[in-house]
Amino acid sequence: MPLVASTERSQVGHVKLDGPNDWQIGYVLQAPTEPTQDDDPLLIFAHPFTNNSEYWQPQLQSDLIGGRYWCLAFDAAGHGTSPTYGRQWDIQDTARAIVKIASTVLGESGDTLDRPQSDGFPSRAVCIGCSMGGFGSLRGALLDAQRVRSQHKRPLIAGVLSFGSSAEPEHKDFVEEYYKTANAAADRARSGNPLEAIKMIADGIASDQYGKEAGLRNAQKSYDWGRAVIERSLSYSFAANSLGKPIDASMSFDKVQASLEPQSTADQIMINFNALLKRDGIEASISSKDSTVLCPVLIVHGTEDVAYPIDRKFPETKLKHLQSAGVKAEIKMIEGAPHFGTVSFADEFNRILADWLKTI
């Protein structure tokens, strides 16, 4: 695992998805520093588009979250240490990854998993997702509910926190804007500048979603950090495509970036954007008592989210669908927070998460 190394407290590895999209999904599993309670859940973190598991460092390094709970952050297909080698993936693969990770780590699948040395281990999981990770987390809970209903197994997922996401297909103006970015970056890669293409994506997304141009709180610092995370995530994933094999942990980042090929980078840019922008909505699934999730849902949203502006009522619409099916769901707003507010407003977000976990 090139992005994060195993330590005394953390373990890195992969789980393999079942079926035709049999991606190897990279993850880092981190032990808490404090004794856990018997009913404390494992926290599974799903990152936003273009990012990787590093995105969740403000939570994993927090005494309130990482110090108190077992945490697992994974790289979605097409990101970081989970390359797809030029094959199309979709948001449902993130949902499948969540269920596979939960069943493996919690011992349901019969597979074994190395764990850091620590007393006790959770028997249930809570999913925390931001943006694309929020889409995937709610879909993961739907898959878990389907498995419970059809196979009569115990639920794995005890709760979902969805930050800065919606239950609907992507709205038209956002699709058009993002495809402009995708096509421009793909053209840059094909012209012989794959690294410049990645930097273009990293700069644009980090600037918009941390509120740099709007001058939001902590925006510049978060932008600087977040841009580097995106650049690493896409460089490692796309370089693996170019090489046709996983990146060796000993390879320097300079060599990783030097391995990028123009055409395969351009192709993967479009593959990744297609997965995000062509996803289906899940309104019907979450609003039906026969298919909806079997766990409580907390919807968290920043008031300065430019991807899902609050005037379009994305949180309220999702809440209405869930509550119509009898799901225990609520909304928490973070004043002044942008789309990637789990980073720039980490203190506020971590307190909301910690308080909610006590109710699960």
Which pair of structure tokens corresponds to residue 172? 């038209």
Any idea which residue has 């609907």 for tokens?
Answer: 168
End-to-end Cα distance, the chain: 32
- The pLDDT value recorded for residue 113 is 64
Please report, for residues 89, 139, 198, 276, the alpha-carbon distance to residue 30 in angstroms, rounded to integers and kept in the order given. 27, 24, 29, 28
Give pTM, 2 decimals. Answer: 0.97
Residue 338 near residue 210, CB atoms below 8 Å: yes
Residue 250 near residue 76, CB atoms below 8 Å: no
Give the dihedral sign, CA 179/180/181/186: positive
Which pair of structure tokens corresponds to residue 129? 């997702």
* Domain definitions of the chain by residue range: 10-169+281-358, 172-278
* Gap between the Cα atoms of 36 and 201, Å rounded: 40
Please name the CATH architecture into which domain 10-169+281-358 falls. Answer: 3-Layer(aba) Sandwich (3.40)
Phi and psi dihedrals of 45, rounded to 5? -105, 130
Residues 81, 202, 338: CA angle, nearest 5 degrees: 105
* Gap between the Cα atoms of 177 and 268, Å rounded: 18
- The pLDDT value recorded for residue 108 is 78
* Gap between the Cα atoms of 205 and 118, Å rounded: 38
Residue 64 near residue 92, CB atoms below 8 Å: no
- The pLDDT value recorded for residue 38 is 86
Nearest by Cα to 116 from 25, 31, 56: 31
* Gap between the Cα atoms of 199 and 29, Å rounded: 29
186-217 exposure pattern, b = at least 16 Cβ within 10 A, e = fewer: bebbbeebbbebbbbbbebbbbbbbbbeeebe
Phi and psi dihedrals of 331, rounded to 5? -120, 140
* Gap between the Cα atoms of 256 and 95, Å rounded: 29
- The pLDDT value recorded for residue 114 is 63
What is the residue-wise DSSP string for 113-125? ----S-S---SSE
Tens-level pLDDT at each residue, the chain (360 residues): 446 667 888 999 999 998 889 999 999 999 999 999 889 999 999 999 999 999 999 999 999 999 999 999 999 999 999 999 999 999 999 999 999 999 998 887 666 566 665 567 899 999 999 999 999 999 999 999 999 999 999 999 999 999 999 999 999 999 999 999 999 999 999 999 999 999 999 999 999 999 999 999 999 999 999 999 999 999 999 999 999 998 887 889 999 999 999 999 999 999 999 999 999 999 999 999 999 999 999 999 999 999 999 999 999 999 999 999 999 999 999 999 999 999 999 999 999 999 999 999
